[in-house]
A and B are shown apart, each in its own frame.
Chain A
Amino acid sequence: MNPTQQKLLEVNNLSVSFSTYEGVVHAVNNISFDLKNGESIAIVGESGCGKSASMFAIMGLHNRAITRITADSILFDGRDLRRASENEMNNIRGKDIAMIFQDPMTSFNPVLSIRTQICEALKLHFRMNRKQAEERALELLSLVGIPDPKSRLDDYPHQFSGGMRQRAMIAMALACDPKILIADEPTTALDVTIQAQIMDLVKELQQKLHMSIIWITHDLGVVANIAERVNVMYGGYIVENGRAEDVFHNPQHPYTIGLLGSLPGIKGREGQRLYSIEGIPPVLYQPAAICPFAPRCEYRTERCLQENPPLISRNGTAEHHAACWVELRQQQGATV
């Protein structure tokens, strides 16, 4: 990684909260991260940890009526997205920042052909005419490896298999040469062999098209395969971040250690009990006054129940941080 790489996206102190019948839910709390040109990062966490909510906030996709988004800044290519008007956002969304989703079946419009759906963005953003758009659509479909694209162009989403549908969605996302691709659990609904195909495809396309990628996932295996840097989220907070090697080989937050330990590992250890984190993830009706992981944590100290720890630098590097008061040494459970 080149240290002089320019930051393409920089998010500072982003918070997202929703008004619900049960009260205000603080889904994302003061998270900061950045994405450099051509880099791929991952945001990992379990359902409800705020990983998708933070991405939706950046894209401006939340329902404004019930959502409150605050941030010091969300800088994309030097521009602050918080100040962008709806019109400007429409230009950025789908063009500069594109997104692919978990379930390709529900993210397509079932009553429109693939042709219509891919060409829509091209006509809108590039003012292409029908013929140009169709040519580009064909080019995109063969780029993502859909065999015989010409005959598939007029198919409807339900005529595609799960893997093909995800490819078509990637083609749609790439239509306008985005600078950033946000991949929100794009392989979760797929079988492992198809997942491997899609991950390979995205990595190949990233090289070819020089995109930056944010992967959102709960699958640590997927993260290890694709991400250079990792942000681990828990209860709406980033609890650990760092280079993938550091986070996987020397995890510093008890939650990360627990997550890695609860995986069965590909060799050895059969028959043994898995390390399990007792309890369930929290729903935060207020920003946490104490460490959000403390109730489930086995390293808990007095201080953890008094103050919520900020991200603290680990191992003397500026790249690896963990939000934990306890300094953990090389841990058991860290080896997979």
Chain B
Amino acid sequence: MAKPQERLKEIFSRISYKPPKTDKFVLPEKSDEGSTKSETGFDNKRNEYVFDDLWEEGFRSTKKGGIRVKKPVKLDGARNEEAGVGKVQRLTLSSDIYPDITINVNYFEKLFNLPKNQNVVIRRFRLRDGTGAFIIFLEGMIEKRLVDETVIKPLMQLNLALVCPEHMDRMDYVNENVLTADNTKIVRKYKDAVNRIVNGETLLYIDRGNSMLAVNFKGYQKRSVERPVTENVIRGSQEGFTEDLETNITLIRPIIKNKDLIIEIFTLGRTNQGQVAIMYLDGIVNPAIVDEVKRRIQSIDVDFIYGSGVVEELIEDNTFMLFPQVMITERPDRTAPCIMEGKVVVLVNGTPFVMTMPVTFLSLFNTSEDSNNRWYYSTLMRLIRLFGFFTAVFVPGLYVSLVNYHQQSIPAGLLFSIARNREGIPFPTIVEVLLMEVSFELIQEAGIRIPGLIGPTLGIIGALILGQAAVTAKIVSPILIIVVAITGLGSFSISNYELNFSARIIRFFFIALAAIMGFFGIAMGIIIISSLMVSMKSFGVPYLAPNWPRTGSRKSDNIIKKPAWRQEERPEYMQPMDKKRQPDISRGWVKGKPSEGNRE
């Protein structure tokens, strides 16, 4: 038996309230913004590494990091002075590379949070003469076999002290005489080194040097070049961009084999160092456009760049207009003609979509197939796409206004059949239309999200449930199914995916206006939308150029495609430096004569 005191305690504990134990994780609110200096003198926030004494620091890290260095590296007198033993040393990302291997190893370990971050490999080795060296790279980002063969192997067999001439920088010597790698670059700042490492390059450091050698053996996993998914054509190239920036550049390069095709690469994104490339044909593009694109891109200061969509939103003129202000495409053969017209292409690492700018509304209706097909066929197709756009925007609105306001404009027979079918349907037309439109949007969205295996069921649901059952159940009238179907077809025929979105949104706007005022409402909507459209500009080019406003001569490609030999000029609204695309007579044979004996 327990003691009475304890019994009492237990009884008391039974009758008293005890808060339940919680083991749930709680995210604490951030207490302060103070520095996160660790005991090693490393400031994680500013990437600042402070050490007061070179020797001691060397020792300490030797003990702690467990790097097998028996003795601290001796420095010669001059270097000793220069390093300033006993002084407080401060290394930041922007400082020059410190001429000591231990310090550098230490600093990189700190920078990459090494024991924690197991993705980073620092491989230390010695040259034949005992000089220490290391390479640093990210696991999985490089072609390891190549690094072994072209960097480590030649270096380990190298007696650097013996072969390197006095006057020559050792890293230069190694670069020029030893390594068999082809793409190398010497960097002198920590910042560059780190950037190259995170981009998948391998960096070599040799002791006592004040530079590092970046060797580009990128070898991470990437998708191979495949057919484009969103833009299909029948006649034309079947290549599509991939997620990799360099691959994408190499897809465009072979189409425009010109020395003036310029590629400038920018690094954006504070945290992720996303790569953004701009591409243009010097001598054709108006430099003002390039400068503006560069200005906008360089001024971007955001946390994270993960694809072209972010960059698009960051650099477009007007974020709140519904229409796309850059053209997004997945096809190199769609991009190259844009460059040839004097447009600027922006490629962003991470998405298989590139942006061309400036863009005009009518050029969004072109596809790469157009230039491959004969002119009359292409023109017809463009007009059909334009018609599809108008269908997608206006048809439901027109339907609503016809059946709610303008019954006189429906032929009597059709009107009576609509009325007969509407008997028994409890909703007003506008509710019916919204119901069907929303369901249609649902099908579209579900169709994208649906796992591939059960994809076919979606068609059944769409066709059966919405088409058949809704009519039978007297929820919507059958003619509305036709209206929604035509609208859907129209919106799918729009070649530009972004424009498809705008059409879908504007459609609801017009449905609302039609419900309020019928045709008059729609007409006012047209005025409003068109006045916004004509006042829009994409990188200084009016959105409805070259027709509204009219610009220059009509010898360039517009909604009506001209035969290839008639497209003598680049679009005037781009203000290209070289306006002439080809001479007035581009088919030389028209003037020439067939060979003797084959003449009529």
A associates with B: no
Interface residue ranges, A against B (CB under 8 Å): none
